[in-house]
Structures are given as structure tokens and as C-alpha cells.
Structure 1
Amino acid sequence: MTATTPLALIVDDAATIRSFHRDTLEKAGMRVEEAMNGLEALERALAAPPNLFLVDVNMPQMDGLSFLRAARAEPALAAIPAIIVTSERAAGDVEGSFAAGANLFLSKPVRPEVLARFASVLAGVPLHGASA
């Protein structure tokens, strides 16, 4: 993969979830970086803005929605597409995610092909087999 290959930043405190998402996105043709919480993600994104955020909600230090609100307040990060991928299903979680700046809300577990397709579209990766 080259430096022009879209970069996704996975933000999740669970190593197994980050690994699953990394494998899925790399197979979809993306470069991947990881962060264990929103604070680490904000620092990484400000240093090298990605093409896509893949964000969990519940994390220590800074949760996913706080991260998205902070990212949306930064001019360099404001327009980067963001997918919330969470096991949260309480009333208001979807609306709260969109209000924080998410472009898409997916509930865990997410099938790899579904995640790969949505992430590819949002990050600007050409879909395999798509006609022009």
C-alpha cells in the first residue's frame, strides 16, 4: 500500500475488536492506524489526519462521542467521515452519535463485508468489481 492509499483510524479500547476491524479494512485496501481511546485518537488524527474514523462509544479517558465532538471542532478533522461501531443500543444512542458528528451508526457485531463496503465508500476506496 502507498501513502495515497486511504488511511483509517480505528478507535476502540478492545484489542480484539481493533484487530478484527484492522483485518477487514486492510483487506478492503486501506492503511490502518489504531487508538485505544478518544484522547489518543485525537492526538494521532491531529498529527496525521486519516481519511476515515471508525469509533467505539464506551472507552476510558475520552469516549467516542466526546472524541467526535472534539474532532468536528478541529478544522483539519471536521470533514473526515466517521462510522460509529458499538454494542450500545440504549434509547438515543443513534441520535446522539449523529449529533456528535457520525456519518454512520453500526451495531456490533458487524459482518466484515458490510463494514468493508461502508468504510470503502466513505473513505473513497474504489469498490472491487464496480463499473465506472
Structure 2
Amino acid sequence: MSEPGTVPPAPPRVLVVDDASLVRLYYRGALERAGFAVDEALNGIEGLERVLTVAYDLLVVDVNMPKMDGFSFLRALRGREPPVRSIPALMTSTEAGEGDRETARSAGANFYLVKPVPEETLVAHARALVGRQA
């Protein structure tokens, strides 16, 4: 709770990058209920364009997308100048192999979650990555 006369902090801003509209809707609902401000991108190219024009506190990125997949998106992002390259990234995918997790880590993901991601898990990881408690 903020002191009288002070402006409360802005909610953390999240970009969800996923080509599946139902997944974006699900993530948006879960994150907005938890107090995040959410934007969406349909693929890595659109996500990169948004990241270069808006300051985000967190990225939630799918692996398999047309035009630019999540791995390529994170590699391109991590090659940029600060602060863009240091935005925390939560990668999600239906791929559950250890090799997929390692590829995500080497591309620059902070966490890798296998879909379907329960709402509580998504929110807990998002809060941890932006440094906010429940």
C-alpha cells in the first residue's frame, strides 16, 4: 500500500509472444488478474519490433512460431544493447525434452515451462522474474 499523496508504481509490463490466439488470451487473463499490464505479439518478428519501441519488464515467449521462432527471437534480443537484452524471458513450449530446455537456456531464456502451463505456475514465475511478490 502506498503512502497518501504518492502515486502507486506502474504494473509490470509483459509482452506475450505466441502465434496461438487462445494461448495469448489465457496468458493475458492470468497475468492481468495478477496485476500485470499485458501486450501481445504473433511471432518473433512482431515481438522484436515491440520490444524495440516499448519498455517491457518481462517476455513470455513460445518456441514454435511462424516467421521467427522463440529461440531466434531471444537470440536476436540478447544480441541488442542494454536494457533490451536484459529483459527477463519465460519460454513456453509443448516440447519437453532436456535438449529443448538447454536450447532455450543458451538462447537466453531465464525459465522454460512446458505447456499447458498452470495459471499459478505462470504467475509465480512471472512475479519472480520481475521481482514482485504476491
TM-score under structure 1 length normalisation: 0.91
Q: Rg bigger for which structure?
A: 2
Partner in structure 1 of residue 16 of structure 2: 10
Query: Bigger relative contact order, structure 1 or 2, given CA contacts below 8 A and separation 6+?
Result: 1
What residue in structure 2 maps to residue 73 of structure 1? 79
Is 1:6–1:124's contact at 8 Å kept on the other side of the alignment? no
Partner of 2:48: 42
Per the TM alignment, residue 4 of structure 1 is displaced from its structure 2 partner at its CA by 2.0
Identify the residue that residue 94 of structure 1 maps to in structure 2.
Answer: 101
Deviations 1:38-87 (A, max 9, x none): 00000000001210000000000000000000111111311111001110
The Cα RMSD (Å) is: 1.4
Unpaired segments of 5 or more residues in structure 2?
1-7
Q: How many residue pairs end up in the alignment?
A: 126
Q: Deviations over 1:66-113 (max 9, x none)?
A: 000011111131111100111012451000000000000000011101
| Identical amino acids, percent of aligned pairs | 46
